Structure 1
Amino acid sequence: MTKKQPKSDATRRRNRVDSSTRQPKPPKSDPNNFHGSNNHHFLAIIAVVFVVSSAISAFLYRRINHPSLPPSFAHQRGLVKEDVTFQEILTENSRVSENVTQRHFTNPVLAYITPWNSAGYDLAKRFCPKFTHLSPVWYDLKSQGTKLVLEGRHNADTGWMSELRLRGNAQILPRVVLEAVPKDLLRSKKQRDKAIDLLITECKDIGYDGIVLESWSRWAAHGVLHDASLRKLALQFVKQLGDSLHNVRSQRNGQPLQLVYVIGPPYSESEKLQAHDFGPEDLRTLSDSVDGFSLMTYDYSSSYSPGPNAPLTWVHSTIKLLVGEGGKSLANKIFVGINFYGNDYVVAEGGGARAITGRDYLSLVDQYKPTMRWQKDFAEHFFVYSDDQHHEHAVFYPTLMSIAERLKEARSWGAGISIWEIGQGLDYFFDLL
């Protein structure tokens, strides 16, 4: 696998929604190889990247053993295919089945919604029966001197929550990013207890069904997880939080409050986990206290190495590495990450990239009327175009086929999915859920 460097979840996620230039990484290939009108150079380099991946065999296994997807409205119209055209995308993307209560992916579905991309609020209401968990991105738990403060209540939209609950049974678990100074929090029992009290009090006051917590990547970035004693305290804190939430009942349905924990994919080049990686032993340690693990299987490529957002070979090998040998029974607690955003890469010298939403994507497709290309090695579509300055671009954005393949992957493990984030997708994506 391509080596990555850990960065905080908050930074990674805001890069996905603000359409900002990605943080530069060391170049993995000469950008000049992508310059010019001949796309064969681009295809060749992409192929080389994935030929060296040990996950190719896993991809072949997946193709043989996965069950077929139940028929959806998009399948019935013959739109879920490799040879999709730009005309079909422009014409069909807003057409969806009138029956939004029918689920085609019956495992858990966690959908994120962000305040800075408000379309997600309406989509959450419209397709509410498709989701089992909805996570509005509302909160940060921060240090303020020697105290802890939970920021974000001003984001909480109780009217929207009430509408959701009239339309479906999805549980509402707001995302909380743990921004508190890691060493101060973990080394102080008083601070750990206070953090848990703040979170449980907020759940009671607003009427949440639990929370989604992000902390692991932040701890990794601060070097906390390289210290064995602090790493142990980190796991103990997550366990304590989960157990404490389970001791409180939801005001809505009387069920224990839930904890979903966000984890990143391993960043190592091989199957040898690094100290900061969340691995199979961590999964087993937390499995009784955590109700689900939101696995961020996206952001694989970078502006210095344009390519797929989440090659399916890599997704498969990541899940396999995480659950460990004989640990497939724990896969049912994993929400396999699926991106509803894309990337527009400049593949000329100097590189550059911007994250794009469905609206951006449709604008590009309408303007350049490209030929859609499918690469089986990573199961994603892309297209290339030249802008007004004659700079060549490569655009990777989800399609019905790429999403369907990832749903098959999750289903084969008995896993759920988590979507970052629904406001960036196209309407007909929801037909597959």
Structure 2
Amino acid sequence: MIPRILLLFSIFSMASAVTIEQLTWQPELVTKESILKNYLKLTNETIFEEMTTLAFVTIWNPRGFYLARKRVNRLSYVSNVWFEVEPTFGMDVMSDVAIVGIKNIDRDFIKFLRKNNPNIKIVPRFMFTKFTEEVADYFIRTEHIVQRVAQTLANFCHRNGFDGLVIDSYSTFGESLMKHRRDTMETFEQMGNMIRRNRLIAILSLPSPVGNEYFLGDENQESTLINSNECESLLNSYDYFQMWTYIDGLHTRNFIHDKYLLANMELCKFSPKIMLGMSLYGLEYELEDYLEGPRLRDWTTIDSKRFLQVLKLEDSVLTWNKKNKEHELTSKANNTFILFPSLTTLEYRLALAKEHGVAVAFWDYGQGLDYLTNLI
């Protein structure tokens, strides 16, 4: 589970004017039959226009590359999940980094996107998972190495014709954020500032600041990853802050509902630099265990293939949950309970983002049902 700091705050007060009744895709319109009939159909019509959108595409879900080509004129940013950042050493201490994954660059894909949408920005993701805890601690305390690494990443982007990058380093620096908070925050800020000084787009990708666990107990006791002032500092150093407003569902699963999304936007003062994470994958749990509750183990993530497999079962039932505003799929014969993005759920979450003027980021573009991309 993502570690967070506990800070005393008043209850988040912002409410949304968006209601389910206002949506084009009413819950009753989404049925087993309608999904199976239409999930592959792509249309030219869209519900949401003039929203900043980012799509993550991964080599393990190649459908995302296909959809990015089809939807190229609807996307503002495409982030190819290709690269890992590996520390290099001189005199037994970290001196710089090397980029792993260069062989994965698909230049034909990039060329196609640029040809068909000259305004699209290519911002690949860089992960720091090859750092050990010892190296991570040294890195955040050594400013000149931070500056050098950021410059190395910037030089790599320039050499390969990228417009910027997404920094995804929480899996490495999450513990550092808890133990050496100021050093870690300054590291994030320095990297963002250096990348932007190189006239590149800098996007920081982190878990949602307000955790799902906030809604499990005393709502006067807020559990946050970063506070509002820290969020503002990060936003000053980056073009966008991409929130993982979907990952909490793997753990406590107290539903990724509107209050959760609104609380995260409110913490960062509804900045237009927020990129609200939109999940296109689903979650699966054993039905018997789910009904017994509480859910003490993580959910299993699934893509559209698994969802459709269960949907086609004769005994499977698709229902609408008014509280968490999600469609639920169950099969007693297979002892399975599934939450998977539907047209209604995704339209509602996009409407929240649109209402408050924030951008959205889809993870990942190849995991969902094709027709979900008709919305935006």
Q: TM-score, normalised by structure 1?
A: 0.73
Pair 1:193 & 2:147 matched: yes
Equivalent residue number for residue 40 of structure 2: 94
TM-fit CA distance, 1:411: 1.1
Amino acid corresponding to residue 89 of structure 1 in structure 2:
I
For 2:280 and 2:305, how far apart are their aligned partners in 1?
A: 11
1:184 to 117, 138, 156: 138
TM-fit CA distance, 1:357: 0.9
For 2:353 and 2:37, how far apart are their aligned partners in 1?
A: 29
For 2:75 and 2:20, how far apart are their aligned partners in 1?
A: 23
For 1:111 and 1:399, how far apart are their aligned partners in 2?
A: 18
Equivalent residue number for residue 431 of structure 1: 374
Structure 2 residue runs without a partner (length 5+): 5-10, 291-296
1:136–1:174 Cα contact (<8 Å) kept: yes
Q: What SS class does the counterpart of residue 355 from structure 1 fall into?
A: strand
TM-fit CA distance, 1:371: 3.0
CA deviation vs aligned residue, 1:107-160 (integer Å, no higher than 9, x gap): 211110111111111111110111111111111112245343221211111111
For 1:374 and 1:67, how far apart are their aligned partners in 2?
A: 14
Equivalent residue number for residue 213 of structure 1: 167
For 1:257 and 1:271, how far apart are their aligned partners in 2?
A: 40
TM-fit CA distance, 1:378: 1.1
1:158–1:206 Cα contact (<8 Å) kept: no
1:158 to 107, 119, 128: 107
TM-fit CA distance, 1:362: 1.5
Amino acid corresponding to residue 196 of structure 1 in structure 2:
A
Aligned residues: 347
Amino acid corresponding to residue 283 of structure 2 in structure 1:
N
Pair 1:348 & 2:255 matched: no
Equivalent residue number for residue 143 of structure 1: 87
Change (3 A) 1:103 1:184: farther
Equivalent residue number for residue 81 of structure 1: 26
For 2:113 and 2:61, how far apart are their aligned partners in 1?
A: 18
Map 1:16-55; keep pairs closer than 5 Å.
Answer: none
Q: TM-score, normalised by structure 2?
A: 0.84
For 2:50 and 2:3, how far apart are their aligned partners in 1?
A: 32
Change (3 A) 1:431 1:217: same
1:345–1:393 Cα contact (<8 Å) kept: yes
TM-fit CA distance, 1:273: 5.1
For 1:307 and 1:365, how far apart are their aligned partners in 2?
A: 24
Map 1:263-282; keep pairs closer than 5 Å.
Answer: 263-265=206-208, 266-267=210-211, 269=214, 270=219, 272=221, 277-282=225-230
Aligned-residue CA RMSD in angstroms? 2.7
Is the strand fraction higher in 1 or 2?
Answer: 2
Q: Which moved more, 1:378-387 or 1:366-375?
A: 366-375
Structure 1 residue runs without a partner (length 5+): 8-53, 70-74, 249-255
Map 1:323-334; keep pairs closer than 5 Å.
Answer: 323=268, 327-328=269-270, 330=271, 332-334=272-274
1:66–1:409 Cα contact (<8 Å) kept: no
Map 1:289-300; keep pairs closer than 5 Å.
Answer: 289-300=237-248
Equivalent residue number for residue 105 of structure 1: 49
Amino acid corresponding to residue 356 of structure 1 in structure 2:
I
